[in-house]
Amino acid sequence: MATMHRVRRPKTMRLVLLGVMAAVLGVALAWSAFPAAVSAPDAPATPGNESLDSHPWGELGCTLPGAGIDSVPGLFDFRHACTHHDGCYQGFDRAGGTAVIDRARCDELFRTDLAASCEYLHGTAQNWRARECESTANAYYAVARSFGRAYYTGTGDPS
């Protein structure tokens, strides 16, 4: 009859394993504590990945004379997209540095930001609110393409 001997790991090995597990857990918790920020040059500006803290180009946003039209609670929040579009039209890149960016590129970034904002707010839902957000985003993009030339002050191609 064979006897099974219980193999015991030395206490040192258990302490090392416990220390490694604690270190991995600590790194994971620290990593998740910091929210994602707009860092890549073309990362979309949405309510979920940046704050509306001071931008070097200001924060006028999407407005009509006397009224801000960049958010409707529950439907859309385009404040970040509008703020970054304003900066791009003034010749700033996403991080606030001066850059030569064509107006068409600014508008494409705006379109991406608008769509990303709808996706952030509504996910993949296909309810009336999500469709209204997408429809409003398309209208904002169309207005920027049709009437934005007069407001573009950057050094790129204004067409």
Torsion of CA 25, 26, 29, 35, to 10 degrees: -140
β partners of residue 68: 63
Q: 79-114: per-residue pLDDT in tens?
A: 999 999 999 999 998 888 899 999 999 999 999 999
Reported pTM: 0.71
CB-CB neighbours of 135 under 10 Å: 13
The ranges assigned to domains in the chain are 63-151
Question: Which structure tokens are listed for 46?
Answer: 């949405």
